[in-house]
Amino acid sequence: MKLLILLLPSLFLTANGCLRVRWMDKCSPTDPAIYLFAYSNDVNYSYVRSSREFLDPTIKRLPTRFVKTATVRFDIKTKEDIVFHDGDTFVDSYTAAHKHMDQQEVEPSQSFDSIETGSDVLDMLERFINTNRPNICGSFALIHMKRCPNEVEISKIVEKLRAYHIQLSLAVVHPSSGGLHPETLYDLAAKTNGFCTFSNDQDADSVVPHAIWPNLHYSLNLRVSGTGKMVLPSLTLPKQLYMPPQMFVGVQRTAPTIIGCHIKMSKCF
């Protein structure tokens, strides 16, 4: 069983397991970045809209490192380009992205015909990185999907996502509309300090914490079994936070057992 623990306040530093991840020269945690909305053509668009609306107060009220919004539909017969929405401010870009998404929504006739066809979400992420647009490094991707990949080997895309410090938040609807390997999505998130949830349509807009708290400060990916306790690496929060920090725990289990988890936090001065 794996536990994925995220703490999401207003800055962006990460740790993976007991190894602290050092930022490369491509960008720093406070550099301008892009917010990507990506959604599968298989999903119910109304829930994509709802999750986006959860983010509205954060975007419009609080300081942000994001400077531009990008959007894309994937899992569609005719592959679509990633659209980067211009605006004088991030709010302007974000508003333009809203309008674009609401105009196109989804096209059921363009969804893949076979349930055996896997999602092309990994290709979409590769294309996002390869656009070579300014501020790709440090970007955040909120991804809604219902179809799973057929791929299991993800080392190359994981390496790229890490190199560019791109954080993923995957809202996966269950049951799947196709594809073979839902575990690939969880592994992708766990290996890139992201978050992955599996839920029904109605809950997809509320189970993804990043829809409200889009900035990551601390992440641990732990393999646990049996009973016992672990002392986790300490974290230091900045003195000024624009939002109260929130902690989320994701669990990937390998057996249908009842799971109990207790987390104790101590404050040091």
What pLDDT digit, counting tens, does each position of 41-62 carry?
Answer: 999 999 888 878 877 877 777 7
Dihedral over Cα of 25, 26, 28, 31: its sign: positive
For residues 16 and 75, the model is more confident at 75
Q: Which of these CATH numbers, 3.40.50.410, 3.40.50.720, 3.20.20.70, 3.30.565.10, describes 13-219?
A: 3.40.50.410
* pLDDT single digits (tens) 190-202: 899 888 888 877 6
* pLDDT single digits (tens) 153-191: 999 999 999 999 998 989 999 899 999 999 999 999 989
| pLDDT number for residue 103 | 96
Q: What average pLDDT does the segment 246-262 reach? A: 60
DSSP state for residue 25 in the 8-state scheme = T
Q: What average pLDDT does the segment 211-235 reach? A: 74
Q: Which long-range CB contacts under 8 A does 158-162 form with residues at least 24 apart? A: 158/188, 158/191, 158/192, 160/125, 160/126, 160/129, 161/125, 161/129, 161/188, 161/192, 162/21, 162/191, 162/192
| pLDDT number for residue 119 | 98
pLDDT at 3 over 70: no
On the 0-12 / 13-18 / 19+ scale of CB atoms within 10 A, 48 is buried
| pLDDT number for residue 18 | 35
The reported pTM is 0.81
| pLDDT number for residue 12 | 34
Sorted by where each begins, the domain ranges of the chain are 13-219
Q: What average pLDDT does the segment 141-153 reach? A: 95
Using a pLDDT cut of 70, give the percent of the chain over it. 74
